[in-house]
Amino acid sequence: MNAFTFGALFIAILSGFLLGMARLYQQPPDSLASRKLSCSFMPEMCTFSSQKPESASPRAIAGRWKQVPSNPNWFLDKPGIQFKRWQYLSMSSDDWFVGAAFVKFSYVSDVFLYAVRKDRPEEMFEYTARLPLGLGVVTTKLSTSGCTKWGTPEMNLSNSSTYSWMELCARENGAGYHFRASVQANKFHLDEKSHVQQKLIGNHLIQIDATLYRNEDMFLLYPIYGDRERLMYVHKLAGMPINKQSFIQVGNDKSFFNNGAGGLDWTKGRAHYRTFWRWASLNVGKAWVQRGKSNKATQEALGINFSQDVYDVLNDEKKASDGENNFTFSTENAVWLQGNVYFMESAIEIHVPENPLVDTWKIKSRHSTTREEVDLTFQPLGAREDHANFGILLSDFVQPFGYFKGTIRLNTDITVNIDHPAFGVVEDHKAYW
């Protein structure tokens, strides 16, 4: 392609993009802009349904379920500049932590994979790629069928050392997920004084082949602005067991996912242009759990997904434990134990410290309508971060990885004690997209 053709294409793309982005500044109707999503206005957001999601029209409902729709045509995508898709997978074993993401917007696509060996957390291996117009990433309609791909993974792992690709596929009958990747990654070393990741010279081949078994679902249809015609499709899973034959290989260093557990965030929809969130995610194969009045504790697979400032609902119908009438909680807050999901209804605050790369984070309950209580701390060991600013487009986030400690008490007399540090991630994200 000559310079003139490339320039003309660039101008055409930029013009179309700016015209489309101008629509993002249009405010929603007054009836929606002034309406705060609340339990009294939309009670289905403050409980969860035992019925199948497809029992009603997707354009007329919102709510939370413990299962996802099975009909790929049930939730119809609405193409446009505001429609966004992303999938984030995390996996943790005795030796490694891995985070991988596929992001596809109408104007850009992003993928990344990073891996941290737990006995050397100051070292991080990372692969990233970005293309315009959503090119390169192929996604599926539903989170429980088909494959999301970056690159061409048709070659065997042993023969794919010359280019990078990633693939996340739903297993047959929705029984779980199969993740494969072969990427050329950079190595970063954390500077102890500045706490900045220093890029080192040389590429490192990372190969992953992992099978995850699906847990009980947390499925959410969240109405942006309280508009039932503008729903976010959110499927979260955590604490998923990882097959023992699953492996990660960095160069010649091959390791199996012993005591492995994983989590998945599979989201699509017409997200708000200005979106902010704080997030905490943990997946461990073994955690101490005490049930009922027994003093004995057993080891169970654990997953947590806590957030703040996104998918929030005002609880204006129940009083908190301290007597406050109105408090806000996130509809995607949940805990998984041995594959079973427990929805959290209390307000959980994720306190971001002044220096999020070094100082301790706190994740605590602020209000409660039941006996739920969360009291966790998180100590960063390193981080993946991105600070992309293109004026009307912005993605500014820091995602530290490190260790959680503390307790979680559920409203069913279940207490989770994280006495030994458990490896996970937290995130502080601001986006204009």
pLDDT digits (tens, 9 = 90+) for 53-72: 766 555 557 888 898 887 76
Stretch (H or E) spanning 6: helix 3-22
Give residue 48's pLDDT: 78
For residues 274 and 127, the model is more confident at 127
- Say if residue 402's pLDDT is above 90: yes
Q: Compute the C-alpha angle 132/137/141, nearest 5°.
A: 125
Stretch (H or E) spanning 411: none
Tell me, rounded to whole angstroms, the distance of Cα 22 from its chain centroid: 28
Q: Taking residues 212-225, what's their average pLDDT?
A: 91
- Say if residue 6's pLDDT is above 50: no
Give residue 80's pLDDT: 73
Give residue 166's pLDDT: 96
pLDDT grade, residue 76 (50/70/90)? Answer: low
pLDDT grade, residue 419 (50/70/90)? Answer: confident
Lowest-confidence segment of 102-106, 157-161, 207-211, 414-418 by average pLDDT: 157-161
pLDDT grade, residue 193 (50/70/90)? Answer: low
Give residue 230's pLDDT: 81
Q: Which among 115, 70, 73 is positioned nearest to 97, based on CA atoms?
A: 115
Give residue 289's pLDDT: 93
pTM for the whole thing?
0.89
Give residue 369's pLDDT: 56
Lowest-confidence segment of 98-112, 204-218, 379-393 by average pLDDT: 379-393
Residues 308, 350: contact at Cβ < 8 Å?
A: yes
* Model pLDDT for residues 155-191, shown as the tens digit of each residue: 444 455 558 999 999 998 889 999 999 999 999 987 7
For residues 207 and 6, the model is more confident at 207
Percent of all residues in the chain with a pLDDT value above 90, rounded to a whole number? 49
Distance CA 248, CA 125 (A): 12
- Say if residue 387's pLDDT is above 50: yes
Stretch (H or E) spanning 79: none
Q: What is the DSSP string of 82-96?
A: TEEEEEEEEEE-SSE
Tell me, rounded to whole angstroms, the distance of Cα 59 from its chain centroid: 24
* Model pLDDT for residues 319-369, shown as the tens digit of each residue: 555 555 567 889 999 999 999 999 988 889 999 999 999 999 999 998 655
Distance CA 220, CA 235 (A): 6
- Say if residue 4's pLDDT is above 60: no
Roughly how many angstroms between the first and final C-alpha of the chain, as a whole number?
Answer: 30
Q: Which among 148, 150, 160 is positioned nearest to 130, based on CA atoms?
A: 150
Q: What is the DSSP string of 196-251?
A: -EEEEEEEEEEEEEEEEE----EEEEEEGGG-TTSEEEEEEEEEEEB-TT-EEEET
Q: What is the mean pLDDT of the chain?
A: 83
- Say if residue 7's pLDDT is above 70: no
Residues 125, 186: contact at Cβ < 8 Å?
A: yes
pLDDT grade, residue 149 (50/70/90)? Answer: very high
